Structure 1
Amino acid sequence: MIDFDEALALVMEAARPLGTETVALGEARGRILAAPVIAMVDAPPADVSAMDGYAVRERDLEDGGSLRLVGTSWPGTGFVGSVGPRECVRIFTGASLPDGADRVVIQEIVKRNGEEILVQEPLGRGRHVRLRGSDFRTGDRLLDAGRLLDHRALVAAAGADVGEVALWRRPRLSILGTGDELEEPGGARLRPGSIPESVSLGVAALAEQWGAIRIGRYRLKDEPEAMTVAAEKALASSDLVVMTGGASVGEKDFAKSVFASLGMEIIFSKVAIKPGKPVWLGRVGDRLVLGLPGNPTSALVTARLLLAPLVAGLVGRNPASALCWRATPLAEALPPNGDRETFVRACLAGGRVQPLPNQDSGAQRVLAEADVLIRRRPGAAAAEAGDTVDIIDF
């Protein structure tokens, strides 16, 4: 059995990107860049107006008097011709500045009388002109490889006239939920002795949140032959297989032996954490297999701690980005910790972290209430209200 930091280091070592693909920018939201985004155009592509108003020659304003309106510059079409002495052009935000003009006078300080305008108030310091390439130039690197394409990055890429991007491929995920007692949600009450299979739904949602593509979710009886068939199918179609349950030492805990029969190399088999000690990681060829405990809280805690960084690395992110701990004061005291690293389910309230009363590994209601995990090191002394502890979003 290894400690949490050792297990995490092994997960990070295994979490290598899977390869690249080219994707239309409109389909790239939430994905990770495999190559930088280089600007294909200048932005703006010409000197343009930053306001609605009138494009003028600044020297014509020095002596006062009216200017003659000779045309209009619209965004996308501009104005054909030049602005001569004591002339001006009506201009709108984003429209190209006409030849000869060097300033935009905002419409709010202009009085217009037919084809004549008169500037009625003192000019401010701003010229209200965005110079060509003042945002970026053709060939500029706007986004680095490894960048998450969030809403802000998508705007920058689109503004650079980039229609396709090179992305790291998303891992295909299959989840195998094991247990004779399990029934699909909605059907458990119809079969005495059964319980709803809840774990795989939460695990799948968490993995998809970090970038995996779920291609299958299967509920299996504790029957080695059927489990082996399902495992073979999952390995054939997936980059990552997660098996929930069957990871302990009971007479029907077959998870590891099933994959061992398919040639699995164990990376680690137990981790000294609470909850979630039976969690394990293996490899079959170039496929990864993560075994999670069957108890709901244990499964979700270990998935958050180990599956999230695993998927993050597979999609091209830094695996460590999935585990951003921060120091936060306690709302109430915690007792001394035991010899296993413990992750306490808790919630944030008023800038403090409140441990939740039910810390049972099989609890499900508490999962809806907990929004953070408190990290307690092995042998940690009692902590008082107001002491700081390390937490992570759950």
Structure 2
Amino acid sequence: MIGFDEASALVADQAQALPPEAVGLALADGRVLAKPIIARRTTPATDISAMDGYAVRDEDLTDAPVRLTVIGQAYAGQAFDGVLTPGACVRIFTGATAPTGTDRVVIQEDVQREGSQAVFSQTPHGGRNLRAPGSDFAAGEVLVEPGVRLNAQKMVAAAAADLARVSVVARPRVLIISTGEELDEPGRPSKLRPGIPDSVSFGVAALVRAWGGRVVDRWLLDDDLTTLEKAARSAIDRADVVVVTGGASVGERDFAKAMFAPLDLQLIFSKVAIKPGKPIWLGRASGVLVVGLPGNPTSALVTARLFVAPLIAGLAGLGSAAATDWRSTALTGPLAACGDRETFVRGRRTPAGVEPIGDQDSSAQKALALSDVLIRRRPGDTASSAGALVESLDF
């Protein structure tokens, strides 16, 4: 049995980004960029109006008030087909290309329209209300660096760069296997026995997706070694990571490791000195990463947050450190002394800090729903009162 820090370091060693792949821009949201986004064009390509108003030449307004003849209109995507001549102006709208010869755009609020004439009561000063060519970015400029997750803002930049496809890190494929004859699919209880709804796999699946992974399947299997061995062979052909829940203890029907034995299971670690979740293990079977989680819902989800999240984040290109952002936070309620195992207390954030949840049982699911933070307690930590600083991690 190893300590939490050692286990975390071993997870980080395995969490290397998968190879890149090119995807259509419409499918890139939420993916991690593998290569920089480089602009294919200069934006704007010409002088662009920044306001609704009138495109004018400065020399026509030096003796304001003056009247100028409106010789046309310019819309975004539909330029004025001509040149701005002396004594003339063009009605122009935001985003439209400024006609050749334009010195500035006078906003419409400062102009009085009288038929085909525009009356300018004063000589304009200050900003030109024009966006100069390349004022946003130039062709060849890097708009988004690799290694970041594409969000709404970065998707806008990628589209503005005029890219149809982008290079992103492949999403790790994750297959989740829940073991236990006592488990049923939620809403579909077995007629053969009173069962327990399988809740763990849904939480693990949500966590995998949150950290950049793709759940390729979710299986619910009985504790039959022959069946589980067959499932293991199928799983490693379809996934980069297989997550097994349950069967991680030492009972007669605990086959989580045994099911992968024919596939040359090589353990990276087996058991970690933490509470909850001591039975957590990590290995490779035929080269594919396999994570074994406890069967109790809270134990499973806590260990998944501590170990599966960094693993998926690293494989997805975010880096495992993205999922291990521990912060120093003030307690808003007391904590008892910690025993000889590192303990992760479920809690919730408040405006004043973090508050421990009352029910810390490893099978508690209502309390789990209230938790949004883990509080780290080192072995031998003494009791802490409200106001004490603790290490916390978003759950």
1:146-167, Cα deviation, whole Å (9 max, x unpaired): 1211111000010111110011
Do the aligned partners of residues 197 and 131 (structure 1) sit closer, same or farther apart at CA in structure 2, a change above 3 Å counting?
A: same
What is the one-letter code of the residue matched to 2:13? E
- Deviation, 1:18, is 2.1
- Tell me which residue corresponds to 1:229: 230
Q: Distance in 2 between matches of 1:226 and 1:272?
A: 31
- Tell me which residue corresponds to 1:98: 99
Q: Distance in 2 between matches of 1:349 and 1:147?
A: 29
Q: Secondary structure at the match of 1:255?
A: coil
1:124-160, Cα deviation, whole Å (9 max, x unpaired): 5221100011010000011111121111100001011
> Is 1:177 matched up with 2:174?
no
CA contact (8 A) 1:33 1:167 kept: yes
Gaps of 5+ in 1: none
CA contact (8 A) 1:282 1:290 kept: yes
CA contact (8 A) 1:328 1:351 kept: no
- Tell me which residue corresponds to 1:388: 389
Tell me which moved more, 342-351 or 105-114. 342-351
- Deviation, 1:59, is 2.4
Q: Secondary structure at the match of 1:54?
A: strand
- Tell me which residue corresponds to 1:256: 257
Identity %: 52
1:325-368, Cα deviation, whole Å (9 max, x unpaired): 22221111111111211111111223321111100011111111
1:160-182, Cα deviation, whole Å (9 max, x unpaired): 11110011111111111111211
- Normalising by structure 1, we get a TM-score of 0.97
- Tell me which residue corresponds to 2:360: 359
- Deviation, 1:268, is 0.6
Q: Secondary structure at the match of 1:139?
A: coil
Q: Secondary structure at the match of 1:66?
A: strand
CA contact (8 A) 2:61 2:123 kept: no
Tell me which moved more, 192-201 or 93-102. 192-201
Gaps of 5+ in 2: none
- Tell me which residue corresponds to 1:306: 307
- Tell me which residue corresponds to 1:331: 332
Q: Distance in 1 between matches of 2:288 and 2:70?
A: 71
- Deviation, 1:215, is 1.6
> Is 1:43 matched up with 2:65?
no
- Deviation, 1:220, is 1.5
- Deviation, 1:16, is 1.6
1:80-101, Cα deviation, whole Å (9 max, x unpaired): 2211222211111011111111
- Tell me which residue corresponds to 1:67: 68
Q: Distance in 1 between matches of 2:122 and 2:87?
A: 18
Q: Distance in 1 between matches of 2:160 and 2:81?
A: 25
- Tell me which residue corresponds to 1:195: 196
Alignment of 1:272-283 (within 5 A): 272-283=273-284
Q: Distance in 2 between matches of 1:146 and 1:122?
A: 50
Q: Distance in 2 between matches of 1:317 and 1:348?
A: 25
Q: Distance in 1 between matches of 2:330 and 2:176?
A: 37
Q: Distance in 2 between matches of 1:357 and 1:218?
A: 33
CA contact (8 A) 2:61 2:122 kept: no
Q: Distance in 1 between matches of 2:86 and 2:388?
A: 73
Q: Secondary structure at the match of 1:173?
A: strand
What is the one-letter code of the residue matched to 1:210? W
CA contact (8 A) 1:175 1:217 kept: yes
- Tell me which residue corresponds to 1:34: 34
1:234-280, Cα deviation, whole Å (9 max, x unpaired): 01111110000111122221211221231011111111111111000
Q: Distance in 2 between matches of 1:231 and 1:197?
A: 19
CA contact (8 A) 1:309 1:322 kept: yes
1:303-326, Cα deviation, whole Å (9 max, x unpaired): 111111111111111111012222
CA contact (8 A) 1:271 1:278 kept: yes
Tell me which moved more, 179-188 or 148-157. 179-188
The RMSD of aligned alpha carbons is 1.4
- Normalising by structure 2, we get a TM-score of 0.96
The alignment of Structure 1 onto Structure 2 pairs a total of residues equal to 394
Do the aligned partners of residues 115 and 287 (structure 1) sit closer, same or farther apart at CA in structure 2, a change above 3 Å counting?
A: same
- Tell me which residue corresponds to 1:24: 24
What is the one-letter code of the residue matched to 2:14? A
Q: Distance in 1 between matches of 2:25 and 2:102?
A: 37
Q: Distance in 2 between matches of 1:124 and 1:369?
A: 59
Q: Secondary structure at the match of 1:101?
A: coil
- Deviation, 1:27, is 1.1
CA contact (8 A) 2:15 2:319 kept: no
Q: Distance in 1 between matches of 2:212 and 2:202?
A: 15
- Deviation, 1:216, is 1.5
- Tell me which residue corresponds to 1:186: 187
Q: Distance in 1 between matches of 2:125 and 2:139?
A: 32
CA contact (8 A) 1:56 1:88 kept: yes
Tell me which moved more, 59-68 or 151-160. 59-68
What is the one-letter code of the residue matched to 1:389? V
Q: Distance in 2 between matches of 1:131 and 1:39?
A: 17
- Tell me which residue corresponds to 1:10: 10
- Tell me which residue corresponds to 2:208: 207
